[in-house]
């Protein structure tokens, strides 16, 4: 999909015109294009600074920016012109959305060509650094700003060439523990449907795309969390607090259909003792789970050991178990779990099938 399409989706989101499907499209595009995600953040920041246009001002402002575009040699796409139509309501709606898109294009173009005032917006670049940690392994890395990061199995961290110089923005898929170097420049993590902002702190983020929630656990310092679907809400975590955000809250089913799952739940991180925290135990090569469903445990075992597990029985899949593993093999771990839940398993290469 084109960059113009992305900008229009972003414009619809900011002006409240985006449908659920369009919001999901936008999230997907930003995950696939880290440079677009960074642009989105800067654009939204710029939009907040400049203030919102009222419908009554849209026509005049739009025409003024059209003239600026003409002087810069930029033509309005015919597709937008044709959509304007003669309907005042339709025209007003399209103006609102189109106005933001083309203001964004004009501002970006003027900055990239060295015109206008200085801004934190930087030119999009294809020079991105991407660090991955395959399933069955963990990775430790030092970012250009001296921030230390531990990547859990099946995770990926992406940041651009300007990281540490003009920005400290990164995108996370999976799980990572951060010890952020203190700086006046905010460190911002994009993960699933949340944005996490810190200045200098230690925290863990679990944002696997195949899980129902995104978790942020704070050990030291302070973090600010905003939700893509509720940009007006701000959550500030204190040490030993954890925010669990539902990735798709509308899909959760309860015994009472009329009740909806909270989109975000604030709680405490889980201490086993003075030195062990469940949420960050993986950094110290400990896989710990307490009272979790076998289906969720199986997902963790898959990443930890680099294998595939198939659960064929729904009752077993929902059995809840606890355990701690460090140097055990996958078969030793499964035999240990058999003490609390009766099941059989068969191994064929890297695939394990669990039956009743």
Query: Which CA distances in Å does 168 have to 46, 209, 339?
Result: 17, 23, 47
Candidate ranges 16-20, 236-240, 271-275; pick with highest mean pLDDT: 236-240
Query: What DSSP line would sit under 295-336, residue for residue?
Result: HHHHHHHHHHHT-EEEE--HHHHT-EEEEEESS--HHHHHHH
| pTM score over 0.75 | no
pLDDT, residue 210, reads 85
Give φ, ψ of 122 to 5 degrees. -115, 155
Q: What is the mean pLDDT of residues 125-138?
A: 82
The two three-digit tokens of residue 333, written as one number? 């771990």
pLDDT above 60 for 280:
yes
Q: Return mean pLDDT, the chain.
A: 77
pLDDT above 90 for 36:
no
Q: Is residue 85 left, alpha or beta, with left meaning phi > 0 and alpha meaning psi from -120 to 50?
A: left
d(CA 106, CA 103): 5
pLDDT, residue 151, reads 96
C-beta of residue 190 within 8 angstroms of C-beta of residue 216: no
Per-residue model confidence as pLDDT tens digits over 74-122: 455 554 445 445 555 555 555 555 555 555 554 444 444 444 443 343 4
Which H or E run includes 52? Answer: none
pLDDT above 50 for 55:
no
Is pLDDT larger for residue 172 or for residue 25?
A: 172
pLDDT, residue 260, reads 56
Residue 35: pLDDT band (50, 70, 90) is: low
Handedness of CA 299, 302, 305, 309 (dihedral sign): positive
| Strands across the sheet containing 344-348 | 308-311, 351-355, 344-348
d(CA 17, CA 37): 19
d(CA 128, CA 34): 8
Is pLDDT larger for residue 80 or for residue 350?
A: 350
Give φ, ψ of 62 to 5 degrees. -65, -45
pLDDT, residue 121, reads 39
pLDDT above 80 for 347:
yes
pLDDT above 90 for 47:
no
Q: What is the mean pLDDT of residues 332-356?
A: 93
Q: What is the mean pLDDT of residues 184-197?
A: 90
Residue 354: pLDDT band (50, 70, 90) is: very high
**pLDDT-above-90 percentage for the chain:** 45
Q: What distance, in Å, lies between the first and last C-alpha atoms of the chain?
A: 46
d(CA 56, CA 99): 13
C-beta of residue 194 within 8 angstroms of C-beta of residue 209: no
- Residue 228's nearest CA partner among 29, 25, 23 is 23
pLDDT above 90 for 140:
yes
Is pLDDT larger for residue 247 or for residue 278?
A: 278
pLDDT, residue 119, reads 36
Q: What is the mean pLDDT of residues 122-136?
A: 73
pLDDT, residue 31, reads 66
**pLDDT-above-70 percentage for the chain:** 67
């Amino acid at each position: 999909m084109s960059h113009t399409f992305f900008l229009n989706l972003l414009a619809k989101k900011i002006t409240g015109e985006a449908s659920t499907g369009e919001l999901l499209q936008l999230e997907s595009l930003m995950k696939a294009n880290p440079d677009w995600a960074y642009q989105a953040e800067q654009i939204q920041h710029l939009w907040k600074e400049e203030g919102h246009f009222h419908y009554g001002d849209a026509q005049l402002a739009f025409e003024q920016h059209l003239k600026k575009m003409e002087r810069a040699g930029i033509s309005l796409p015919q597709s937008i012109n044709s959509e304007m139509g003669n309907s005042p309501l339709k025209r007003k709606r399209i103006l609102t959305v189109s106005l933001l898109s083309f203001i964004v294009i004009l501002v970006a173009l003027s900055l990239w060509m060295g015109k206008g005032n200085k801004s934190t917006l930087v030119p999009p670049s294809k020079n991105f650094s991407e660090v991955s940690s395959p399933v069955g392994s963990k990775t430790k890395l030092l970012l250009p700003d001296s921030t230390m990061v531990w990547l859990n199995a099946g995770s990926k961290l992406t940041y651009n060439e300007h990281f540490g110089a003009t920005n400290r923005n990164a995108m996370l898929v999976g799980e990572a523990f951060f010890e952020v170097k203190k700086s006046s420049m905010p460190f911002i993590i994009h993960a699933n449907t949340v944005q996490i902002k810190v200045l200098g702190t230690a925290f863990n983020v679990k944002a696997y795309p195949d899980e129902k929630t995104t978790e942020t656990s704070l050990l030291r310092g302070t973090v600010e969390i905003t939700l893509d679907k509720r940009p007006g809400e701000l959550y500030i975590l204190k040490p030993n607090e954890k925010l669990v955000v539902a990735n798709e809250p509308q899909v959760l089913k309860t015994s009472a259909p009329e009740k909806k799952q909270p989109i975000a739940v604030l709680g405490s991180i889980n201490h086993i003792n003075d030195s062990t925290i469940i949420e960050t135990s993986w950094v110290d090569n400990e896989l710990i789970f307490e009272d979790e469903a076998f289906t969720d445990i199986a997902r963790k075992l898959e990443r930890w050991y680099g294998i595939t597990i198939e659960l064929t029985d729904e009752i077993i899949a929902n059995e809840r178990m606890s355990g701690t593993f460090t140097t055990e093999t996958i078969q030793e771990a499964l035999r240990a779990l058999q003490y609390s839940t009766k099941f059989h398993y068969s191994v064929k290469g890297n695939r394990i099938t669990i039956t009743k």
